[in-house]
Chain A
Amino acid sequence: MSRGRGGGRGRGSFRVGRGGKAMIGGQEVSWDYDEDVENGISAKPQETFPPIDLPQTQPPTYNEKLQIEHYRAFRKRIHHGPLHTVLGDDMKIGKQQRSRGAKFDPFHGMSTYTQKYKRQSHKTANFGTHKYPLQGFPPELWETLLNLMAHTSTLATPLASIAQLESSGSQLDGVPADLENSIRYQGCRLTQAAGALLRLPQDLVAQAIVIFTRFWIGPEGGSMKYYGAEDISAASVYLVAKLSAHPKSPRSVLNVYAYLASRPDYPEGGDNDPPPTPESYFLSDGTYYARRNELLKHEAIVLRTMGFQTHVALPYTLCINYLQALEVFNDDRGKKLAKRAFAHLNTLLLSPQLIYVTHQPPQIATAAIYLAARETGVKLPEEEWWEVFDTDREELGFLVVAMTSMGAFAAKEKNRWTERKTPVSINELQGELERRRLLDEAD
């Protein structure tokens, strides 16, 4: 490092000459790359002072180490103890009787008028609450926009999401899908039978079946390994009846279920079989109280599992409305058609395709009318009348196939469970799973 040169620069004569040469401190310097100069300058740190022996601290002695360890352990104990406090912003030391009211932030803690101008932060954009002017959008988007802006109607029923249909709590717990279908089917039939014995109107029975169906749906839904189908069915019936104009006491509900359980082949029960003896379905007081607690517990669980969403919209009344709109009640065949359509609606409640939690009532009603009209030979308009009832052709097709396939499904289920009972309780399901495991091992 040349001090003389630096000093020269400090005095500051710096001129750029012609041809890219500069004068620094009276010396001509070229801007061009000069290898000699480059090699001459060393980037190494240079020694400015003679080396000094710095004194070294002694490592801590055994006693000192012990002391430190002891202190640290003590501090840790204090910090984890119950009396240790950390002072926050709103804490004051000493006697402050009146500080209780000041925990509330007067500026942001309560909403004011001007806060409506504050930017709202949505976690995801909320398109639903926005009013779109339709004229500003191409017509092919109108349907989507109208859907976004539509109000949730009472005629609409809550539907299962795609994620919910992909898996179920039971399947995650190792219940095979076919067994799950069987148990659900049997549970629905059980609910229907219980509703009939309780003299509940069919719309309430249908609501109970839909709620029963909803309970098992989705990975967060109920698992058949932990809840018996029979118990959930009883809870659904009790819950639906309670909300309606026909409440039923726990005693009636439990009596009916005890009676049904005493029939070996419930719910259809062949007339040839001897009726069960009253002793077989008598509930003693002790049993009754135990079962009532179970029933009420399951009611609460059903409510929690579906987030208290007890609203069920059904297609029955819509079906009548549509039939009236189609003017089919002019002759006797209209009545037959209505009966047939209602029969389809009832059958569809048991469908393994979970129609009532995947389709809205208008579509179900329209499909039932379509199929019933085909079967009873009633002529309906040539036009695409189902579009009037908000059903497109594809959906109609799917629903009609679902309805026509129910007969085969029911027959299959009946053959399958001739020797044994469908497992509708946790224990029965355990037995069935065990049996399957043994069969698998034998293979």
Chain B
Amino acid sequence: MVGRWADTEEEKAADLHRKREKEEKKRRKVEKQSREQKEAYDAAELVEGKSDSTREKLPTDLPALTLEEGRKTILLRHVASEWGPCRHVDNFERLNHIEEGSYGWVSRARELGTGDVVALKKLKMDGTEASGFPVTGLREIQCLMQARHRHIVDLREIVVGSRLTEVYLVMDFLEHDLKALQEDMSEPFMPSEIKTLLIQLTSAVDFLHSQWILHRDLKTSNILMNNRGEIKIADFGMARQFGDPLPKMTQLVVTLWYRAPELLLGAERYSTPIDMWSIGCIFGELLTREPLLQGKNEVEQLSKVFELCGIPTEDSWPGFKRLPNARSLRLPPLRHNIGPVVRVRFPFLTSAGSSLLTSLLSLDPRKRPSAHEMLNHPYFAEDPKPKSTSMFPTFPSKAGQEKRRRVASPNAPRRGVAPSISASTDFSGIFTSRDAEATGPGFQLRMM
């Protein structure tokens, strides 16, 4: 049949005319360009003052012509990924078990074909009789497939077992996670090392946010590290894509100790700042080797947050009163010393460092820097400079069995009903100890 896009006679003629005109235009442009280039070239020689007559002049019209042609034909072509059926897990030889989480079992394995050592994560399929493949697992796979970055753990492929419920994620194997590593180190990381770690972490988070992915469970045990000083973010079980306008999402995300105050107060529309809060907590943890805010439950967590970062007011966090759980809060009476005490808590941090940490731990999510802004913070530019990854110390791998020891630390929340902070929650007492400190004897030198 005759396509509708086939031109009529007069249009064809017009087209031909247009084409000729265009070619003419192009020719003129090329001519003009080469003339300009020649003039510029001559002018440059004049400026130089010593016109070297022996130097052979380049044929000036040649590069202009090729540039013009090269530029014209470039159309954006996406690299299309493909799909194919999953391979069988028998292509891998299981070496040893690493750990078990709420999301699945992880073991070290070797690919028989190539000899590569990888981490195999078997997804847990509990309670899937009624709803099929767990949606968290699917989201994790989707996010990991989309997020290919140097500092994000690489999902190589997905392999399956003989039964339909056996699904394994094949990922890079890294020797340590930051949490277990810090517990074994006699001293915390050095400031230069912390900077390198933070830059790597933040660049990965920046990339994730640029791809419209929220990680929603950043914590030290989800940050893997190899013996080359490189870290990679892992465990995307909580991750999901977001959009603009923000969709309603569950507030039951992020491990309690790393959970941002707006989540604790029950916000349903939240965005990238929740990841930045977690980065702030990780920053604090890297400095001291101790998790920064260790609450036993939501209420205690919130009071610890307020203790460190101050009491929210309408000035410091406009609109916080409208959050679901904020109405029932009884806050202590306003005093002069309600601001953040980050500087006091980290006396050895430079002022740039503590300003970064304070801004990351702002109660108001809008005041936290984005990952991109954070990378340009002066803290990373000042001495000591970030340490090159090649200078990083090498740590003994966790036993020959590569099994990671777990100390008690909370897990990411389960899906379900979010606990609401009860109406009788009373925060008015959280600063009594600080008042006593302020009035008590003695002083402390603040080191910048």
Contact = CB atoms under 8 A, between A and B. Distances in A.
B82 A113 contact: no
A250 B78 contact: no
Interface in B388-416: 389-390, 392, 394, 397, 399-402
B79 interface: yes
A155 B70 CA distance: 25
Contact of A405 (B1, B71, B86, B148): B1
A300 B82 contact: no
Given A112-B228, A146-B74, A100 B400 contact: yes
B87 to A, nearest CB: 9
Interface stretch (B129-137, B265-273, B287-295, B437-445): B129-137
A139 B69 contact: yes
B69 to A, nearest CB: 6
Interface stretch (B33-41, B138-146, B314-322, B347-355): B138-146
Contact of B138 (A214, A220, A310, A400): A310
A243 B138 contact: yes
A296 B142 CA distance: 19
Contacts of B389: 113
A397 interface: yes
Interface in B162-183: 164-165, 175
Contact of A370 (B5, B82, B84, B394): B5
Nearest to B71: A139
Nearest to B175: A110
Contact of A156 (B78, B164, B228, B394): B78
Interface stretch (A158-166, A275-283, A429-437): A158-166
A305 B117 CA distance: 26
A300 B228 CA distance: 38
Interface in A292-338: 292, 295-297, 299-301, 303-311
A382 B400 contact: no
Nearest to A156: B78
Contacts of B80: 156-159, 360
Contacts of A220: 84-85
Interface stretch (A43-51, A347-355, A387-395): A387-395
A304 B85 contact: yes
A111 B228 contact: yes
A415 interface: no
A159 B18 CA distance: 36
Contact of B75 (A101, A297, A310, A390): A390
A376 to B, nearest CB: 12
Contacts of A306: 83-85
B141 to A, nearest CB: 5
A147 B247 CA distance: 34
A245 interface: yes
B142 A110 contact: no
A360 B70 CA distance: 23
B3 A113 contact: no
A245 B158 contact: no
B349 to A, nearest CB: 28
Nearest to A109: B117
Contact of B132 (A128, A154, A295): A295
Contacts of A428: none
A250 B228 contact: no
B90 interface: no
B400 A102 contact: yes
A390 B247 contact: no
A420 to B, nearest CB: 28
Interface string A137-151: 011101100111011
A152 B131 contact: no
B55 to A, nearest CB: 22
Contacts of B226: 111
Given A103-B400, A250-B131, A310 B142 contact: yes
Nearest to B213: A154
B228 A307 contact: no
Interface string B310-344: 00000000000000000000000000000000000
Interface string B202-240: 000000000110000000000000111100000000000
Given A155-B78, A214-B83, A304-B160, A101 B227 contact: no
Interface string B42-75: 0000000000000000000000001101110111
Given A296-B132, A308-B141, A391-B75, A161 B82 contact: yes
B142 A243 contact: yes
A138 B83 CA distance: 33
Contacts of A159: 80-82
Contact of B227 (A100, A111, A157): A111
A116 interface: yes
Contacts of B175: 110-111
Given A147-B77, A387-B75, A311 B5 contact: no
Interface of B: 1, 3-5, 18, 66-67, 69-71, 73-86, 114, 117, 128-133, 135, 138-139, 141-142, 145-146, 148, 157-158, 160, 164-165, 175, 211-212, 226-229, 247-248, 389-390, 392, 394, 397, 399-402
Given A143-B77, A247-B135, A299-B133, 15 more contacts: A110-B175, A111-B226, A113-B227, A142-B74, A146-B74, A147-B79, A156-B78, A164-B82, A243-B139, A300-B133, A303-B138, A304-B85, A309-B82, A374-B4, A390-B77
19 contacts: A113-B389, A113-B390, A113-B392, A139-B67, A146-B77, A147-B77, A152-B78, A158-B82, A238-B132, A242-B131, A243-B135, A250-B131, A296-B131, A300-B132, A309-B83, A310-B141, A374-B4, A397-B5, A404-B3
Interface of A: 100-104, 106, 109-113, 115-116, 123, 128, 138-140, 142-143, 146-148, 150-161, 164, 214, 218, 220, 238-239, 242-243, 245, 247, 250, 292, 295-297, 299-301, 303-311, 360, 362, 370-371, 374-375, 382, 387, 390-392, 396-397, 400-401, 404-405, 408
Nearest 5 CB-CB pairs, A to B? A139-B70, A156-B78, A104-B400, A101-B400, A309-B83
